Structure 1
Amino acid sequence: MDKSLKLRFRFYNVTNKSIDIIKKEFEDLKTTIEPDFKIKIIDNHIWLSIGVLKREKHSPQLHLELEEMEDGNTAITGLYGPDPVLWTFFMFLHFIIAGVFIIFSIIAYSKWKLNQKFILDITIMTSMIILWIFLYFFARLNRRKGIPQMEKLKVLMEKVITP
């Protein structure tokens, strides 16, 4: 797999199996792989993730959306992504950092216009930029660490969708 993945890697695949057969095969596979992997099926959506015992903070999940085509084949749209809880927390941190930066930039501008000292405000703004850069590289590192597990999820998916 390409090591320069986008933050949320997407793919599209077509198989000659029907949606019902794919869902049944994933349902059957669920019982044999239970401690190492987790499979969740809702309607035409299937989520594959690493099992609780082997899950790390960088563990990805794979979301498959099944769509029936006119010729009887099934279109599969896949999306690799981080754990939703971690992703939500990560976005929360980004919004907090952006909010603190905006608030202190307004305060620094006000103090500058009033000819007051604003060194502390600039320091806090600079630390928010440094913290944001740290989060960026932390996310890149976690994504790179998750690539081997992405491969395992891909192999698991191919067991079912490959005819």
Structure 2
Amino acid sequence: MEIENTIVLRPSFSKDVPTSIEEILENAAKIKSEVKENYRIKISDHHIFFFITLAKRKYYSPHLHIELTKNEDNSTNIRGLFGPDQTVWTFFMFLHFIIAGIFLIFMMIAYSHWRLKQSTTLDFAIMGLMVVFWFALYFQARINRKKCQPQMQKLDDLMKRVVEF
């Protein structure tokens, strides 16, 4: 899996494997007890979630969610999504919405000041600062993705072991 040069912060993939959904779910249940010291595997219907255990998890540690869909020829389509911990992702999105809200508020204030022929310097300065914060969040996410790359590879290897391809 090569994700180093992509712009996507939450890499995803889709693969077809000749194994049936039932075999994959049985294999996941079997492997679940074998790897419980390092990984946690949660099975829900046709979804499998792979997590790093709390003892080995960092704030940037990823999780892997795969969805199993049956194809017409009894093979299985696997759609996977790597993502950060849900708490970190929620906080990250919260910061984005706060920054966007501040940007829009000061854009409206700047328009009002411009229509009233008042100074808009402070308004545009704050809007520029919000743009800088947006880029800072993006680059922080890229740094975190680079830090978690070895853990993503380990989760990918575990997923391949579960689906056996």
**Would the TM-score normalized by the shorter structure come out above 0.5?**
yes
Instruction: Name 2:118's counterpart in structure 1.
Output: 116
Alignment partners' CA distance in 1, 2:162 and 2:127: 51
**Pairing partner for 1:28 from 23, 27, 30:** 30
Listed one character per residue, the Cα deviations across residues 103-134 of structure 1 (whole Å, up to 9, x for unaligned) are 01111221122222333222221211111111
**Pairing partner for 1:88 from 87, 90, 93:** 90
Please report the TM-score for the alignment, with normalisation by the length of structure 1.
0.91
**Pairing partner for 2:13 from 11, 14, 31:** 11
| Deviant stretches of 4+, over 4 Å | none
In 2, are the aligned partners of 1:35 and 1:52 still within 8 Å (CA)?
no
CA RMSD of aligned residues (A): 1.5
Gaps of 5+ in 2: none
Amino acid at match of 1:75: N
Moved more, 101-110 or 4-13: 4-13
Secondary structure at the aligned position of 1:53 is classed as: helix
Amino acid at match of 1:49: F
Listed one character per residue, the Cα deviations across residues 27-68 of structure 1 (whole Å, up to 9, x for unaligned) are 121112113111111100001121111111221111111112
Instruction: Name 2:62's counterpart in structure 1.
Output: 60
Instruction: Name 1:138's counterpart in structure 2.
Output: 140
Secondary structure at the aligned position of 2:56 is classed as: coil
Gaps of 5+ in 1: none
Secondary structure at the aligned position of 1:160 is classed as: helix
